Amino acid sequence: MSKNSHKQQGLIVKALSGFYYVKPDDANCGETLQCRARGIFKKRGLTPLVGDRVVYSVTENGEGTVEELLPRTSELVRPPVANVDLAVLVFSVSEPVLNLQLLDKFLLHIEYADIPAVLCLSKQDLQDGGDTEEIAEAISSVHRIYGDLGYDVYGTSSSQGEGIQQLQERLRGHVAVFAGQSGVGKSSLLNAIVPGLSLATNAISNKLGRGKHTTRHVELIDIGGGYVADTPGFSQLDFEELGIEDLGYGFVEIRELSSDCKFRGCTHSHEPGCAIIAALERGEIEQSRYEHYRLFLAELNEKKRRY
């Protein structure tokens, strides 16, 4: 160890092939440093993740060693990112068509991970090409359903720069993750937020025959005052780790009302004295949301039967 190998703190912004790229907290320490992790982590069954705050030291050869992981506030398994404190669910209003069932599935997983979520409706500039009335209706239904549940909804157009500044303001001070189905314009959106970033977008990737996902590894992108995890996506959403209570927890309106149900462990599907069914009948819960809950419940039960 050299004399200057004193310990410093930083943030893992990228992990690739056994190396961790740490951005020092102290701006005077220069750019991102390529580090290896100490063997002790493996022994303890710990893996440093992108988003981890760490203590590291600089070795003689100018590389670094991750010495210690600082406590995490959150941890996502897929994609593997630590300390995310905001999820931006990006859904396009056309091409691909807005899919509320998928949106509810994403929200369910984000709520279960206890990460605050905002919704972003992208590709608003493509409205001219599609059925504008249908698209306008889809946009207003998202504002009505999800706005009422307390989610912020942002409308953006990457090509026209609409709504980009408002979204960037919302991201300030956060480590955010962008999630959404393939082809909704997540990379275009990040390129619009950080001019000069030029992330590969799907159009290019398809020409190269690389298939759907344009993002290969998890990386934190500095957006000036905040970070966004550009990730290989949440496309593998399944319910293996969720129990039936967790499913209810992932729907805000069900979570808030379920304590009023007559029976503990109520599945909100057929039980007498169910507060959710009563609220649905009074028109206080959105029909589509309840239908998606029932659908996910059936999927969960089917999985449990199979294993």
**Residue ranges of the binding site for Zn(2+):** 261, 266, 268, 274
Binding-site entries: 122-125, 180-188, 261, 266, 268, 274
**How far apart are alpha carbons 157 and 299 in whole angstroms?**
35
Residue 264 CA to its chain's centroid (Å): 31
**How far apart are alpha carbons 201 and 208 in whole angstroms?**
11
**How far apart are alpha carbons 219 and 14 in whole angstroms?**
5
Binding-site entries for GTP: 122-125, 180-188
Q: b/e for 109-138, b at 16 or more Cβ within 10 A?
A: bbbebebebbbbbbbbbbbeeeeeeebeeb
Sign of the torsion angle spanned by Cα atoms 215, 177, 115, 263:
negative
Cβ-proximal residues to 170 (8 Å cutoff; 6+ apart), any chain: 86, 118, 152, 154
Surface-to-core class of residue 196, CB atoms within 10 Å of its CB (0-12 exposed, 13-18 middle, 19+ buried):
exposed
DSSP for 50-78, please give it.
BT-EEEEEE-TTS-EEEEEEPPPS-EETT
Residues in the chain: 307
Cβ-proximal residues to 287 (8 Å cutoff; 6+ apart), any chain: 280
